[in-house]
Amino acid sequence: MQRKQSCIRGWGRKSYLRNVKKGGPNPTSNTVLAAVLEKAKELDVPKDIVERNIKRASEKGQEAFIEKVYEVYGYGGVSIVVEVLTDKITRSVAAVREVVKDCGGKMADPGSVMFKFRRARVVNIKFTDADKDQLLDIALDAGAEDVIEPPVNEDDTDEDRAERYYKVVSTSDNYTDITTKLREAGIPFETDNGSELLPITTIEVDDEAMELNKELIAKLLELDDVDAVYTDQI
């Protein structure tokens, strides 16, 4: 499981299903799929697996998969958004509800949480992989809208810092320019799967609430239908 400042995303066939269904199996014309393939390359996903997943996503019957969003209240006033891709809504909602109930969270009414987030293209760079000033120069020169810095504390261990990310916020139009500039500068990065939800403001909670929310998110990610989980918890 990869932790970022506000997003924890699953990786697998669902990403291909969603993006092939939206724009077709040709990455030349489907820029969102192109971003998914770029991430697969960055993660060293074998070529045969990539090709097999695209083929499966293009097969007849995959159009039955539906995107759904569930909104959840976590501990300490934290908001959580769960994205799923499912061929059976009753199954996915029942599974999400069960996990939320077992972990002590609460399902929220539609719209109760989503207004706290905005959707954007995002390039993720590990805090330990980039110099802040260099990253700002590259990102802003390439037309980035913003560079979100991760929270860093004096008592952080090296492991803590390695799990924190800068987020370069972009539009679809200049996303490729940013990743090209970062690659030319030798800065490793992780692409999104087409977009991410970013919290408009973040919430800091105590250690107990933080651990309980992490457990809830981890359990949600174990569900087969869940593709991504977003939170405004720092």
Position 227 pLDDT exceeds 70 = yes
Answer whether residue 216 is part of any domain.
no
Answer whether residue 164 is part of any domain.
yes
The pLDDT tens digits for 66-92 are 889 999 999 999 999 999 888 889 999
Categorize the per-residue pLDDT at 221 as very low, low, confident or very high, splitting at 50, 70 and 90.
confident
Nearest Cα to Cα of residue 226 among 38, 37, 8: 8
> Residue 4 has what pLDDT?
38
Q: What percent of the chain has pLDDT over 90?
A: 41
Answer whether residue 183 is part of any domain.
yes
The pLDDT tens digits for 30-43 are 666 676 666 566 54
Q: What percent of the chain has pLDDT over 70?
A: 73
Rounded Cα distance between 42 and 107, Å, is: 35
Answer whether residue 163 is part of any domain.
yes
The pLDDT tens digits for 99-144 are 999 999 999 999 999 999 999 999 989 888 999 999 999 998 999 9
The radius of gyration of the chain's CA atoms, rounded to the nearest angstrom, is 18
Count of structural domains, the chain: 1
- State the residue for tokens 């949600």: 220
Exposure string (b/e) for 37-56, b if CB count within 10 Å is 16 or more? bbbbeeeeeeeeeeeebbee
Answer whether residue 158 is part of any domain.
yes
Answer whether residue 71 is part of any domain.
no
Using an 8 Å Cβ cutoff, are 144 and 180 in contact? Answer: no
Residue 192 sits in a domain whose CATH number is: 3.30.70.980
Higher-confidence position of 24 and 80: 80
Using an 8 Å Cβ cutoff, are 3 and 221 in contact? Answer: no
**Full residue range of the structural domain in which residue 136 is found:** 116-198
Answer whether residue 225 is part of any domain.
no
